[in-house]
Copies of this chain bind each other. A is one copy, B any other.
Amino acid sequence: MITTGFPTDGPTLAQVGERAVIAAIRAAAPSALNGDDAAVLTPSVPNSRVVAGTDMLVEGHHFTRATTTPYLLGRKATVQNFADIEAMGARPIAALMGVSVSRDAPAAWVEEIARGIGDMAGEYGCELVGGDLTDGQELVVSVTAIGSLGGNRPPLTLDAARPGQRVVAHGNIGYSAAGFALLQAGIDVPEELEVLVKAHQAPVLTPGRGVVARAAGATAMTDNSDGLIRDVTTLAKASSVGIELSKVALRPDATLQAAGVLLGVDPWEWVLTGGEDHTLIGTIDGSAPVGFRSIGAVTRKPGVRIDGEAPELTAGWESF
């Protein structure tokens, strides 16, 4: 079942008051590390390095109240931040939440966003450890992810792809864009396509794949956030290499094809330009790590190609 919509009733933040809202947040996403000026995290691995990133979701730009729920919004904000940590080959160890929201909004919004963040963090074995809550006109959810990078191997950087390596991916590519298209179409989504809508509302990734890839010898990695061709191009440019993608490996699966038929859209568009899947895409010598599949190869010749040809679809997300 697909769930959408923000509650419109119930006591507002102003009615509940800051202290009670914060208590509700801490009940929705409990953590013994939360509640002081800042959270203190103890890395599980001695001498590990710290990895940190942050992403904002703004109403009307990254989401609408009609197409998601506060809970799913919290999950999405968390997984997209954790994907950035995983894309360094690191393990998420904590999430921080900043929410700017109108004082006239139902307090349940904030509580549910926190529950979503806490639940997703829990799936990665960590917690929502702190944050900030403030009054604003526009709903903005800002999540910061903190990760831990153990061992002496380098992190998985954008500039470390080498010619001759395999390009590997973990997770579905194109699902989020297809799900968004289904939601926008305003149709009754067939049950077998609900997986696409859910992937848009909050992508599902298996925690720990970035760590697995690094341990297996991957050198470069990113996540599919702005669109596959765009993200792969960023990686190729940063590494001064080219990337040859395999059409067979990327071919839209039966679910994407069914959605394409339903909406009259070429599903390759979702695969190549969609983004927001937060799929991990990396490069490695030898075979694909557990949970990854091969989608192409790193070449000496610059540029990104699909079966030897320049991709026809290269658009992607731009903030401005």
- Chain A residues close to B by CB (< 8 Å): 13-14, 16-18, 21, 35-43, 46-47, 49-56, 58, 60-62, 83-85, 87-88, 90, 93-94, 96-98, 100, 103, 129-138, 140, 142, 144-149, 155, 157-158, 221-223, 318-320
Contacts and interface: CB of A to CB of B under 8 A. Distances in A.
A50 to B, nearest CB: 4
A84 B53 contact: no
B157 A36 contact: yes
The 6 closest A-B pairs by CB, nearest first: A38-B53, A37-B87, A37-B84, A58-B136, A41-B50, A144-B144
A129 B52 contact: yes
Contacts of A93: 50
A318 B52 CA distance: 29
A85 B38 contact: yes
Contacts of A46: 46-47
A134 B319 contact: yes
Contacts of A320: 13-14, 16-18, 21, 103, 135
Contacts of A88: 36-38, 40
Given A37-B222, A319-B135, A56 B100 contact: yes
A155 B94 CA distance: 18
Given A88-B38, A90-B38, A144 B52 contact: yes
Contacts of A56: 98, 100, 132, 134, 136, 140, 142
B55 A142 contact: no
A316 B16 CA distance: 18
A37 B156 CA distance: 9
B52 A142 contact: no
A234 B93 CA distance: 28
A1 to B, nearest CB: 31
A84 B140 contact: no
A277 to B, nearest CB: 14
Given A40-B88, A138-B137, A50 B146 contact: yes
A140 B136 contact: yes
A146 B39 contact: no
9 contacts: A37-B85, A50-B148, A53-B96, A54-B130, A56-B134, A61-B134, A132-B142, A136-B140, A146-B146
Given A18-B319, A36-B158, A38-B145, 19 more contacts: A16-B320, A18-B318, A18-B320, A37-B53, A37-B88, A37-B158, A37-B223, A39-B52, A50-B93, A50-B94, A52-B94, A56-B136, A58-B100, A61-B134, A62-B134, A98-B142, A103-B320, A132-B142, A133-B319
